[in-house]
Amino acid sequence: MGTTLRGVGVSHGVAIGEVRHMGTTVLEPPAKQIGPEEAEREQARARQAVDAVAADLNARGNLAGGEAQAVLEAQAMMAQDPDLLADVERRIAVGSSAERGVYDAFASYRALLANAGEYLAGRVADLDDVRNRIVARLLGVPMPGVPDSDEPYVLIARDLAPADTALLDPSLVLGFVTEEGGPTSHSAILARALGVPAVVALPGAVELAEGTLIAVDGSTGEVHVEPSAERQAELEEAAAARKAALSGVTGPGATSDGHKVPLLANIGGLSDVQAAVEAGAEGVGLFRTEFLFLDDSERAPSEEKQVEAYRSVLEAFPEGRVVVRVLDAGADKPLAFLTPADEPNPALGVRGLRSLLDHPDVLRTQLTALARAAEGLPVYLEVMAPMVADRADAKAFADACRAAGLHAKFGAMVEIPSAALRARSILQEVEFLSLGTNDLAQYTFAADRQVGAVARWQDPWQPALLDLVALSAEGAKAEGKSCGVCGEAASDPLLACVLTGLGVTSLSMGSASIPYVRATLAKHTLAQCERAASAARAADSAEGARAAAQAVLSGE
């Protein structure tokens, strides 16, 4: 009889196949000493390996495109970080080999991040991957990565680096399971973009033996070990039913009784637009402009470069709604020209709008570029600020938009609990709210969104988080304004019904999730969604909230 394990489902679908483990083991280099005459040669070897790994990461990014490209380019920049490279060369100068110098320098930097409270834990996983790739190249051993296999399989790993996730072949990798990570980690976001079923934060995942047959349900987070033939048939039948339901529902998002809920796409650039259009997105609910800025951490892109990038996206949605988030730098997206380098807790420091208000020229250039990009286009442009804490923040942003000559709606993201609590006050200055549920959960529960150990508090079904969503939606309704959700919560079809019942007016998600959400909304009335929302808020846990909503919507 098989057993069932539970992690966090982060990408819809069911995958049934044999386990294959990610090859990530890199032997620790020996601590041999070199002579002074060898130091220059070893330093050159280290620089060559670093440059080769950075070039490989950039090449993978070019192949992958979209959000994956931006993540991998940021990782390549990490490989070539001048401070890290200086530390490597210093260690070689006092007797370390190239591989040992790299290993120890990265270990030192990793410890610094961990001692800062792991606010940059998501970048720690990326850092480990960069180190492994450089050391493997220096040792002349195979790069860490996806196993070779001619047969489809389910990939198991302690964690997946973006470089691996970005180029997964869906025809071979049926799905993946990781022991670490969370619902808003880089790998989870990229899995949804690929449409590969995935479960993260599964205790004991790496202990599953090679070749074990498992069934991964990316919707529920369940992993069935050695499932019976009957269980496999049930899962496949449910997956087939879901697929059939998707193809039977088209058009704008709406409940079964006609209550409209626009379904929008989250994108990182032009390469994500085609998938959004094919999924029937009614516009863009979150255009993450920071990916444009990650090309060069030392300076902001020129106004002309920004105009070109923004216009290419705006042109793809004629007469559609496009919501642009101005640069959200800081925390796990540091930029040398914008964010402080020595903050002890970057996620609680100068990030988002705070960074932009400290550097008004960067904000002004971006807003001017958006105004120019929208000229003459029949698009409904909306621009919002990240990390708005209060009315003063909202006013400062709206004033900057007007000063830049921007003819668009101005909005505020609700990512800090204070913004949800004072939604009506903030709406005296701006015209709409957009809930970033990933960060809102992080700040509500003091649970870093990149740390697998606290993933349960990142669950968007947490009743306290639903209370904050309700407060925001109620405030917007009282002011006659809109309140959307652009966090990963919107990609859960069942939760999308609950969010609708809470009064949310639009939902934005990764393009692959739009058909699932559209089909699920179309099966329920607004009144059912409202009852499911009330039942979920009355629960005392995320699991209880999910079960209560499911019971209402299934008629139990």
* 379-409 pLDDT tens trace: 999 999 999 999 999 999 999 999 999 999 9
**Helices marked H in 116-228:** 121-139, 162-165, 186-194
Identify whether 186 is a catalytic site residue.
yes
Helices (H), 140-228: 162-165, 186-194
Identify whether the C-beta of residue 500 lies closer than 8 Å to the C-beta of residue 521.
yes
> 333 — phi, psi (to 5°)?
-130, 60
Residue numbers in the chain where pLDDT is lower than 50: 116-120
Residue-wise pLDDT tens digits, 70-96: 777 877 888 888 888 999 999 999 999
3-state helix, strand, coil split of the chain in percent (to 5) is: 50, 15, 35
Q: Given strand 3-6, what is the order of strands in its sheet?
A: 3-6, 222-225, 213-217, 14-21, 153-157, 173-178, 198-200, 8-11
What is the token pair recorded at 9?
A: 């489902």
Q: Which of 12, 359, 483, 486 is catalytic?
A: 486
CA 156 → CA 133, 152, 192, 416, distances in Å?
A: 19, 13, 17, 35
290: nearest Cα among 324, 262, 323: 324
Amino acid at 554: S
Three-class secondary structure of residue 8 per DSSP: strand
Burial class (CB in 10 A: 0-12, 13-18, 19+), 231: middle
Q: What pLDDT, on the 0 to 100 scale, is given for residue 119?
A: 37
Strand partners, 323: 382
Amino acid at 460: P
Dist CA 382 CA 341 (whole Å): 31
Contact at 8 Å (CB) between 486 and 285?
Answer: yes
DSSP 345: S
Question: 486 an active-site residue?
Answer: yes
Q: What is the pLDDT of residue 118?
A: 41
CA 331, CA 343: separation in Å to the nearest integer? 9
Measured between alpha carbons, how far is 487 from 491 in angstroms, rounded to an integer?
8
Which one-letter DSSP state was computed for residue 301?
A: P
- Helices 463-478, 437-445: crossing angle, 10 deg rounding: 120
| Bridge partners of residue 177, in order along the sequence | 156, 199
- Where do the H-state alpha helices sit in 216-359? 229-247, 273-278, 290-293, 303-314, 353-358
Residue of 12, 186, 359, 524 with catalytic role: 186
Question: pTM of this prediction?
Answer: 0.71
Beta-bridge mates of residue 266: 286
Query: Residue 149 and residue 152: Cα distance in Å, rounded?
Result: 7
- Provide the greatest CA pair distance for the chain: 79
Decide: 253 and 263 in contact? Cβ < 8 Å.
yes
CA distance 232 to 453: 30
Residues in the chain: 556
